[in-house]
Amino acid sequence: MEKIIIDNIEYEIIKDYKNGYKQEDFKNRYTDYFYDYDYVVGDWAYGKLRLKGFYDSKNKKCKEINNFNNLSKYLEENCAFDCSYFVAKRK
C-alpha cells in the first residue's frame, strides 16, 4: 500500500475504496487535529472530502464513537451510500 508523510507523521493507506484516496486532497484537508488519531478515514460527499479520526480499540482514548472497530457502522450511518473512501493508518 501507499505511504504518505504529513507534518512528519507517516501513514499507510490500508484501504482505497472506489479510488477515494487523492493524496493532494488529503494533504489539503489534514490539520493538526488528526495528529493524535491512529487512523484517519476520508470519505467523499457532494464532491468534498470529509475526514474523521479513529483510535485503535487498545488506545486508552478510544470511545465507541471513534473506535476503529466501528468503521463499517460509521460508513453505513454517516456517509453517502457506497461512497468513495480511504483509510490511512498511522505508522
Tell me which amino acid residue 38 is.
D
Range of the domain at 23: 3-90
Type and span of the H or E element at 15 = strand 9-17
Task: Classify strands 48-54 and 39-45 as parallel, antiparallel or unpaired.
Answer: antiparallel
- pTM for the structure as a whole: 0.95
Cross-sheet strand order for the sheet of 9-17 = 3-6, 9-17, 85-90, 39-45, 48-54
What is the chain's pLDDT, residue by residue, as a tens digit (91 residues)? Answer: 799 999 999 999 999 999 999 999 999 999 999 999 999 999 999 999 999 999 999 999 999 999 999 999 999 999 999 999 999 999 9
CATH number at residue 19: 3.50.4.20
**What's the confidence (pLDDT) of residue 6?**
95
Number of domains, the chain: 1
